[in-house]
Chain A
Amino acid sequence: MSIEFGIDSFGDLPRGADGNVVSHAQAIRYVVDEAVLADQVGIDVVALGEHHRPEYSISSPETVLAGIATKTSRIRLASGVTVLSSDDPVRVFQRFATVDALSNGRAEVILGRGSFTESFPLFGYDLKDYEILFEEKIDLFHKLLDETPVSWKGTTRAALDQADVFPKTQSGRLTTWVGVGGSPQSVVRTARYGFRLMLAIIGGQPARFAPYVDLYRRATEQFGTAALPVGMHSPGFVADTDEEARELFYPGYREIRDRIGALRGWPPLRRAEFDADVATGSLYVGSPETVARKMADAIQALDVGRFDLIYSAAGTVDAGARLHAVELYGTKVIPMVRDLLSSGKLASRG
């Protein structure tokens, strides 16, 4: 099976050459630079997540993707995720169809409910409608993908009567994924609509998610929809050595993890937990060899067709180190993973 490799960013604010944390504007330009490098070193996809929090610069992924589109030639351009619940499906379709035009058919969208809820009050939605908003909007988005006039009626948005939506895409159908964090119902819903499944695996052992891949495939059989490749995305960081990668990654990762954890009532991260996650959990932090081996193990355990590394999870890391991480991922990690998977070197390791 051919595996695709992506990088994900939320536009975290790194440190510039002077050691200070950069502005949101500069952080967005760094993401463009990283995507341009990714395009040159053979990374297949760049996926940008929508957030509405001070530590992340990207609230409008497709605007950044549009910037990347005209400076790159082969890398595919995705969101990761687009918070559909608090957006208008018609506008989401139009914006991605526009990125598709600018990039000659390289746009794809990953829809989700998001792991944060700031967008709800920001755009005037009520959290008590969490379920119905996503259910209705994914239904409308699914209809829009046919690129023919749409009639639709629901409770969360004005009805449409034979509405034709422009621009049409180059390929005729926008590649659509749904990002799922671990809710079985979301896996089944993704299969019901025939969307691709992107598993957000940000904690625990990756193999734990194998039953979800099985559930997706079984559900596509039951619904008669196509069993498309499943993807996974997980945080990590690559540097020249294991120690360098861990020490570069940990401070910024911990800072964001603890800030978000405090909102959710989690105790602070302990170094021992971090080290355990790097060793056996869902943090892909280390030298190219270490990260490649761990990725190959996860890809094989879950039988996924795509792996996206959330390389920006190092938070306020040095921007140069982050660019170097993207370079190492493209020039070293990806070829090593391909080699490990094709040579059967993993099978004997149990």
Chain B
Amino acid sequence: MAPTKIRTVGILGAGKVGTVLARLAISAGYEVLIAGSGDPEKIALTIDVLAPGAVPAWPAQAARHADLVILALPLSKYRSLPIDEMAGKLVVDAMNYWWETDGERTDLADPETPTSQIIQTFLPTSRVVKAFNHMGYHDLDEQARPSGQAGRKAIAVAGTERADIETVEGFVESMGFDPVLAGSLVDSRKLQPGWPAFGANLSAGELRRLLELGPADRPR
């Protein structure tokens, strides 16, 4: 399978993370559709101020027209995803289980089942790749920089198909970060809260080193 050509990015979620990723994607030259929980009118002003150039859309619309769909909504709302419009699409999962906003959810907190696998199961024909979840939204916003510039930070990527991983690595690169392969969707748990790489705002070399560590080995 050849890497997917990305022209239009659909972002589902117009909160802290969604608006930052929209801004980065606009800067990178993509066409961006962004959706909140419903009517695009409700987020029009927010998008106009925080991510000018991105187009507010209904979730289904954003998914349908996108070459790559980014999930940036609260994880607990994943059942509201427009499953039909996402069929066959490349999906970047930037979500985390965050009990303080998601509520206590034993189904999302099973350490043996990474949350991106739950999403892949829910979207059986989509091609789910995890990326952008481990870096805080402040850091995403402040740290994007051109390729080769000193101090560039890394974003870990985990997925199943080699071609999809390469596409997302290229996308990460275009958004202003060095991609670092974190492995399969099973390995994506290493990017979740409680693991050393979670919260990482580091160079590719430093991030690779953290990905080697288990959940208990937290270096100071």
Binding site for B on A (CB under 8 A): 116-117, 126-128, 130, 182-185, 187-188, 203-205, 208, 211-212, 214-215, 218-219, 222, 264-268, 270
Contacts and interface: CB of A to CB of B under 8 A. Distances in A.
Contacts of B48: 218
Interface stretch (B82-90, B160-168, B171-179, B188-196): B188-196
A214 B139 CA distance: 21
Which one of A214, A264, A267 has the highest number of Cβ atoms from chain B below 10 Å of its Cβ?
A267
A229 B48 CA distance: 22
Main secondary structure of the interface of A (DSSP, over half): helix
Contacts of B220: 268, 270
Contact of A208 (B101, B102, B142): B142
A185 B15 contact: yes
B193 A208 contact: no
A210 B188 CA distance: 34
Contacts of B195: 265
A266 B198 contact: yes
B194 A265 contact: yes
Interface of B: 14-16, 19, 36, 43, 45-46, 48-50, 98-104, 136-139, 141-142, 192-196, 198-200, 218-220
A265 B192 contact: yes
A116 to B, nearest CB: 8
The 6 closest A-B pairs by CB, nearest first: A265-B193, A204-B138, A127-B103, A265-B194, A215-B49, A128-B103
Given A267-B196, A268-B220, 11 more contacts: A127-B99, A130-B103, A183-B15, A184-B19, A184-B46, A185-B15, A185-B46, A188-B46, A204-B142, A208-B138, A264-B98
B16 A215 contact: no
A214 B19 CA distance: 15
A266 B199 contact: yes
Nearest to A214: B49
Nearest to A205: B142
A200 B43 CA distance: 22
Given A127-B104, A204-B141, A215-B50, A182 B45 contact: no
A280 to B, nearest CB: 9
